[in-house]
Structure 1
Amino acid sequence: MTSINNCNHTRWLRLWRKGKHIMLEASDRPRRLLKDFRNVDEPAGVVVLLGNQTKSIANFKPGNSQLDRKKSNGEYHLYASYLHDARPMIICDGDMPGHNRLPRSCKLQSCHQVEDRIFMEETDSAKTVEASDNIYHRLISPFSDVICIFVEDVGGIDSTLRRLNAWSRCSQLSSTLFVRPALILVTSRGQKTQIENAVNAASLNDYFQRIRIVTVCRRTRKLRSRNVKMKPKQCLALRREILRSLDIIQQSRLMAGMLFCVRHTVEFLYTASEIVTRSSCEPFDYINRSRDNNPIATDFVKHLTTFLCYFDDENMKQLALPHIASSIILDQYPPGMHHFKPLDVFNTLYREGCAQASENLKIYRQESGRPVPNLDISSLIKAEMHSKFSKFEELGSSKELHLYNLAQFYENGIFPSCGESCFSCLQRKPMYSLPCGHWVCQICVKIFYSPNTGDPWLFYVNKCILCGVDTAGLRIRVKPDTATTRVLSIDGGGARGCIPLEFLQALQTSIGLPYPVQRNFDVVYGTSSGAMSTCALYFNGWPIEKCIKYFEQSSREAFKKRRLSQVLIHLFGYIPILSPTFRFIVSLLVDSKYSAQNLEIIQQEVYGTNCSIVNSREASEMGISMGVTLTSTDDTSTFIVTNYGVAGENREKSGYYFTPHHLDGIGTFQDGGLTFNNPVSIALKEAAALFPATPEPSIVASFGTGSNRTSYRGPLTWCKGLYLARLARAVRKHLDSDNAWAQLMSNRKPGDRGEFFRFDVEFQSQLPALDDVNSMVKAARIARKVARSSAAMKQLGKCHRAELFFFELDSSRPPHFVSGVYECVGYILCRLRAGTAEFETFMRQLHDHSASFRFRFQEGMLPRAIQGLSETDPTGNFRQEIVFSLPTKQHHFEISLEEGSPASICHISGSPFSLDSLIKQQNMDAKFGTKDHQQPVTIKN
């Protein structure tokens, strides 16, 4: 990797011509300024110097010779400097063009990230000056505290006033929260009276808060010589006026809540140069721009309306509205956010949403026959937010403020519970149900609960933040931000449901690590018998061996015939001609072939009578999102029941084989296998919805319950051509799990991420019936034989081993553009944690197998070996540093694990990567705070 050298380039913006377009070149110079300041969280002043010659007398930093350099027409430079009292200051150094010439080529700086965009169309010779005015009005004046113009350098009094009048005549302010800057005009002594009269006639006070004229001797222009070491007294007068004006404007910014620190100022400058070419008229919106990487939830109004519907007018005013105001402060002011005035924030971001929620509440009250609220809800929330802001500043944390306000509910009433909205933040759908019945989202888990010191993805949820009730040691695991999902889908198949369990046991052997196999997945879905297996594995957390025994026992109990059926079949059902038809008629008469009572008794013994799928501690601690499918008896619509959302109970209810079951308030449901016997497509959609930052899974494993490939292609007999026979064949094809898998694979495109595996057993003879419990032993034996000889099963195990690793960029050393490439530092990390048997075993196996990582960033390029699998962090956990460079942020690179002999090479989780995706997943561009309240990272030089 090339060493990072500090370059001397200071150019930020540059105008140049390309055909009929005026182009704007913008570099990452604002962000590069951070390394030049001692404390980036101190308030920073912005001083603009316009002129090419006499402005050298305003040099604020001894030895800062860049200000003495003559700049090309249309260039704007940024420097860091400090005042005499050590206050940080950003100097913007530019010129106002006195002619219409612009360069027609763009000399790139290979040490800076530079982007060129069309700034405006050029139709006449005046466009160069107009472009310059646009730069100052839209990119410089919104952030300027003091604008110092050296009149002689920019063409004299007339030229200066033309430009000032052009700025002041702009139809819109340059920003939504505009603090007028100070203007200092530097001229020769003989022109002071003339320029004073001209300025007074121009009426510039609406644009500038303070206007001062400073005179200098004409001889001062000679001071730009580097040999001059002393400045005359008249130059010190200019410095004093700049400092005095800076103090006044910064005090105005402080009163307006617009005094930004260095870190925020440079980010606004960088952002402004990105968005200025998108719109030629919109003013710069500080508040919205600060939320670019953490936007308001799109369904905020829905969650707010849902919450308001739980309260009458009195409790709404006393409890609900203060909580809403607190949740807005929680959302708006994470660590690292500038403390904008709360009223400005409310009017900009939340006013319309609160007003819409108020209207929705009125409609709800009218439709439910309740009195319409006699409250101005939006205004009351605004007032509450304003009153709570001082408490927020006193506590220094919006999280602490929210906890303080939530505690008021503990004494004043019971906090409502809802599975559709997280009532803690009012921003997202909830994901976790706590023992008390309240729901919280994953973001609130990250904000309010502490992670394990050695396992940063395992959070201790010791009590409910909404009611204060103890959770008896609940722990919730979250997926690492850059890791991709691993999906498991288990088909339905009645007694043949033992087959997927045998496959899982074989997978556990293939992985070869001492922990339960179910921990190797993030999203799991099951149908019918697959749902039973899913619940046993994840709801109970049973080892696979116990699940196999439980499944056999429960199947034999579940498939016991009804007493009435046994009597009727004993009397009439053994007549050879009538037997099949008679058995079918009996099942219709009694609504199903088997009663669900036996199965329910077994499940109640295992799970309890009042247990719900959402209350699984085992699944929460494993970090598993699980679901089962149901089919409505009304219109055969498919429903899913999950542990991350309230949709129903956890016990599967079956259709033809088991009587339908009614869930109060929801409907009557039957076997989910009637529509989705292979739920893999549902699992993939849910995985993408649950983890939008990593929507493509890295592993998809689908386990079938047996199939029969024999088919008769000869002439149809008369009975096979009948309508009922044809209908039966069509239904069987619709329910064929292999067809569902084939359809899924046909929709995959070249280059799609992920390894997809389908495991099934092909029976040579007749496929065992769903209720044939006597065939389970044989089916299990065949499944074990298939799994042992399956190369795909061995490959799946190797993929899972590689998936235990993932990659993160070093947030303290973000990608740095130098010499035409991005130089990067990151770490390969491991999901398994030090001190556990599985971690020690895994590390020992990798050492014995001479394992190594492979890095590749270009197709066809030989991978680079990364040795040193023994590297650890201070806590003993695995952490392998990688230093590399890439030509662009969009360029993909791969990291793979190579182990064994013959060697297997498998992607680690998330691979292939790109810098863009990693930066987004890790919130490295969120300079104004993250939604999960991560602490700002100090950037290392």
Structure 2
Amino acid sequence: MGKSTWIDIRAGLDDLVLQEHHRPYEVFSSITNPDTQTPQMILMVGAGHKTVAIQKLRSGIARTADCGGDIQLSIDPETIGWPSPVLIADCELHRAVLFKTVVAGRIPGNIASRSLTWRRRIPQGLSVEPGDISNLVYTQLMLPFSTLICLFADDFQGLEGVARLLAAWLANLINCPSDLPRDTHPRIIILRRVTDNINIDELALMRQFLSILIKEVERRVGPVVERRQRLIDTSMLFSYFGDIRILTIPEPHSTPQQWEDLRRKILAESERVRVKRLKAKFAFSATHFKQLFSFACDHFCSDVLAPFNFIRATRRANPVPINMTLHLSELISRVNNERPGTFALRLHTFAVPAIASALVLDAFPPEMHMFNPIDVFNELCKPSTAGVRAIIADGRGVGGASLFIDKLKELKSALNLDTPILDHFDLSVGSYYGGFILLGLDVKGWSLEECDSQSQKVAKVVFQKSRCLLPSRYRSTRIDEALRNAFGESTAASGSCAVVFSNYGSSLSEEITHEVKVSEIARATLSDSRFFKLYKSFYSSRAREHSSPYSSGALAPLPPVYTSA
């Protein structure tokens, strides 16, 4: 089917109205199984160059020149049969200088109109321009459902124009627009034409662009950022977007192969985010996508400050009872009073399984999206008084590591639950071999037995006396090789958090410019200067601002966090 308006803004008698057109959802009828296929959505933001690119990339039907000022939805026809079909959101809402007036009379049944009620709470005298509204629609409504945003630089007068746009977006994103896990945020590709045939250094161009962006952000939100003690640097950008790249777009007359190469790169970037969302259980079926987007429209029209909460949105018709805490307390009280002296046993064998079963059945009725149960519990049922559950593993060497693993085995046996042991903790703290074990449990998913085996194996390889007395007692090449063999090429998906990996006696010295491997983190936390050469440190500028140098271990504020005392 042809492309048609999906989202636009109209001017009513006394308010602005967001219109959600239902006709574009007909693209879902072409999807083979909308209940199992999980669409990914690419935002194409621009004007004329964007329209040409959509056509050349075979991503949909190009809009006509007289049709702008809205967001149109289509589906990439070549991806209809994929497990994750690609939706294309053709975005030109930012081009509206004035919003069209709502047509008098009855609104068609296939259009849902909602007033932007939050505008009534804006202080008198403070105006909100059409450009501000369109930026809010992009950031607060569209981004949570997108896997990739393509910005066409030539439609914004170059990289400076894109920097101004992103700075405006960041000004809106003081609060995160949704409860998406941090490493599942959409990525950005900036597409620009190059008139000559010279090779472009993407890394140098990125540095130039980020410098321009920082200046634009400072100009827009500097005072607010300073009051909130937030840094004005690239970490702001990567707090809301998974990654950013600048790619060259071919000329309209370029060969089909050149456009095909660009198409593959765009789809690959979108796919990376989709895989992360699938793993985090935030990849929605076409059926759920449509309903959740309607819920998000409701939320956007009533509140643009509070983030949209996917989990709570699915519970609109079935909210958690207000008095659930009282019911649970009553149940526990009855279990305690029924048979004195057997409370611990009955709590473990009856009360806890019964409560857990009831919570799961309530959280996942038929046809419900299967979020991660831990996320659902933390969002809906976790008491506000619950503290942080921390597990701490110190650096007592291989012998201490084996003792620590034995204690974890005892704990796992007592819990009698078939779940990874780290699922019971919010914060993991470890240094030396303790950090090694926690990395194995969390990132590699090792069993406790495998952690014990790997630590013994590494120790045998590493602790072989070196003939050289200085500067360390053992060869650093051995520990490097042993850790690479243990952890392979696995990386720490740090998302947009600040990450610091330090070691004994070192100082913060090098900014992270690559995806950090787990073997590098383990090398940092195992680097006791009495035995090995010091390992280079890693840090991000946000960590440097808010923390002092660490004298030992490895620190990475991730879920969970690896740190040291």
TM class by smaller structure: 0.5 to 0.7
Of 164, 180, 183, the match for 2:188:
183
Cα displacement string for residues 823-856 of structure 1 (whole angstroms, at most 9, x for unaligned residues)? xxxxxxxxxxxxxxxxxxxxxxxxxxxxxxxxxx
CA shift for structure 1 position 24: 1.8
CA shift for structure 1 position 250: 1.1
CA distance in 1, matches of 2:377, 2:169: 30
Of 210, 222, 225, the match for 2:243:
210
Q: Which residue of 2 is the match for residue 238 of structure 1?
A: 262
Of 44, 48, 52, the match for 2:47:
52
Cα displacement string for residues 106-154 of structure 1 (whole angstroms, at most 9, x for unaligned residues)? 4887362331413636966762111111101111001110111112224
Q: For 1:277, what is the secondary structure of its paired residue?
A: helix
Q: Does 2:122 match 1:91?
A: no
Q: Which residue of 2 is the match for residue 877 of structure 1?
A: none
Q: Which residue of 1 is the match for residue 363 of structure 2?
A: 332
Q: Which residue of 2 is the match for residue 306 of structure 1?
A: 330
Q: Which residue of 2 is the match for residue 80 of structure 1?
A: 75
Could you state the TM-score of these two structures normalised by the residue count of structure 1? Answer: 0.34
Say which structure is richer in strand.
Answer: 1
Residue 192 of structure 2 contacts residue 247 of structure 2 at CA under 8 Å; is this kept in 1? yes
CA shift for structure 1 position 213: 1.6
Q: Does 2:272 match 1:248?
A: yes
With over 3 angstroms needed to count, the CA separation of the structure-2 counterparts of 1:263 and 1:70, relative to structure 1, is farther
- Percent identity, aligned pairs only, is 23
Structure 1 range deviating more: 67-76 or 249-258: 67-76
- Where does the alignment leave 5 or more consecutive residues of structure 2 unmatched? 214-233, 336-342, 388-411, 422-565
Q: Does 2:354 match 1:323?
A: yes
Residue 146 of structure 1 contacts residue 184 of structure 1 at CA under 8 Å; is this kept in 2? yes
CA distance in 1, matches of 2:377, 2:176: 20
Q: For 1:175, what is the secondary structure of its paired residue?
A: coil
CA shift for structure 1 position 62: 5.7
CA distance in 1, matches of 2:297, 2:326: 35
Q: Which amino acid aligns with 1:145?
A: T
With over 3 angstroms needed to count, the CA separation of the structure-2 counterparts of 1:155 and 1:293, relative to structure 1, is farther
CA distance in 2, matches of 1:11, 1:384: 54
CA shift for structure 1 position 32: 3.9
CA distance in 1, matches of 2:59, 2:149: 22
Q: Which residue of 2 is the match for residue 172 of structure 1?
A: 175
Of 196, 206, 211, the match for 1:196:
206
Cα displacement string for residues 439-468 of structure 1 (whole angstroms, at most 9, x for unaligned residues)? xxxxxxxxxxxxxxxxxxxxxxxxxxxxxx
Could you state the TM-score of these two structures normalised by the residue count of structure 2? Answer: 0.55
Residue 52 of structure 1 contacts residue 71 of structure 1 at CA under 8 Å; is this kept in 2? no
CA distance in 2, matches of 1:30, 1:99: 21
Residue 69 of structure 2 contacts residue 96 of structure 2 at CA under 8 Å; is this kept in 1? no
Write out aligned runs for 1:270-669 (5 A): 270-311=294-335, 312-352=343-383, 387=419
Residue 58 of structure 2 contacts residue 76 of structure 2 at CA under 8 Å; is this kept in 1? no
CA distance in 2, matches of 1:289, 1:135: 18
Larger relative contact order, structure 1 or 2 (CA cutoff 8 Å, min sep 6): 2
Q: How many residues align?
A: 348
Q: For 2:116, what is the secondary structure of its paired residue?
A: strand
CA shift for structure 1 position 42: 1.2
Q: Which residue of 2 is the match for residue 100 of structure 1?
A: 97
With over 3 angstroms needed to count, the CA separation of the structure-2 counterparts of 1:350 and 1:174, relative to structure 1, is same
CA distance in 2, matches of 1:34, 1:302: 44
With over 3 angstroms needed to count, the CA separation of the structure-2 counterparts of 1:88 and 1:165, relative to structure 1, is same
Q: Which residue of 1 is the match for residue 159 of structure 2?
A: 157
Q: Which amino acid aligns with 1:172?
A: N
Q: For 2:301, what is the secondary structure of its paired residue?
A: coil
Q: Does 2:182 match 1:146?
A: no
Residue 325 of structure 1 contacts residue 385 of structure 1 at CA under 8 Å; is this kept in 2? no
With over 3 angstroms needed to count, the CA separation of the structure-2 counterparts of 1:97 and 1:76, relative to structure 1, is same
CA shift for structure 1 position 59: 4.4
CA shift for structure 1 position 9: 6.3
Q: Does 2:33 match 1:28?
A: no
Cα displacement string for residues 580-635 of structure 1 (whole angstroms, at most 9, x for unaligned residues)? xxxxxxxxxxxxxxxxxxxxxxxxxxxxxxxxxxxxxxxxxxxxxxxxxxxxxxxx
Cα displacement string for residues 492-519 of structure 1 (whole angstroms, at most 9, x for unaligned residues)? xxxxxxxxxxxxxxxxxxxxxxxxxxxx
Cα displacement string for residues 702-728 of structure 1 (whole angstroms, at most 9, x for unaligned residues)? xxxxxxxxxxxxxxxxxxxxxxxxxxx
Q: Which residue of 1 is the match for residue 231 of structure 2?
A: none
CA distance in 2, matches of 1:304, 1:345: 18
Write out aligned runs for 1:745-760 (5 A): none
With over 3 angstroms needed to count, the CA separation of the structure-2 counterparts of 1:195 and 1:236, relative to structure 1, is same
Residue 342 of structure 1 contacts residue 385 of structure 1 at CA under 8 Å; is this kept in 2? no
With over 3 angstroms needed to count, the CA separation of the structure-2 counterparts of 1:52 and 1:324, relative to structure 1, is same
CA distance in 2, matches of 1:213, 1:266: 31
Residue 18 of structure 1 contacts residue 105 of structure 1 at CA under 8 Å; is this kept in 2? yes
Say which structure is richer in helix.
Answer: 2
Residue 326 of structure 1 contacts residue 388 of structure 1 at CA under 8 Å; is this kept in 2? no
Cα displacement string for residues 367-387 of structure 1 (whole angstroms, at most 9, x for unaligned residues)? xxxxxxxxxxxxx9xx89994
Q: For 2:357, what is the secondary structure of its paired residue?
A: helix
Q: For 1:79, what is the secondary structure of its paired residue?
A: strand
CA distance in 1, matches of 2:153, 2:58: 24
Q: Which residue of 1 is the match for residue 541 of structure 2?
A: none
Residue 59 of structure 2 contacts residue 76 of structure 2 at CA under 8 Å; is this kept in 1? no
Residue 148 of structure 2 contacts residue 269 of structure 2 at CA under 8 Å; is this kept in 1? yes
Q: Which residue of 2 is the match for residue 118 of structure 1?
A: 116
Q: For 1:163, what is the secondary structure of its paired residue?
A: helix
Q: For 2:177, what is the secondary structure of its paired residue?
A: coil
Q: Which amino acid aligns with 2:288?
A: H
Output the aligned Cα RMSD: 3.5
CA shift for structure 1 position 244: 0.8
CA shift for structure 1 position 22: 3.3
Q: Which amino acid aligns with 1:127?
A: E
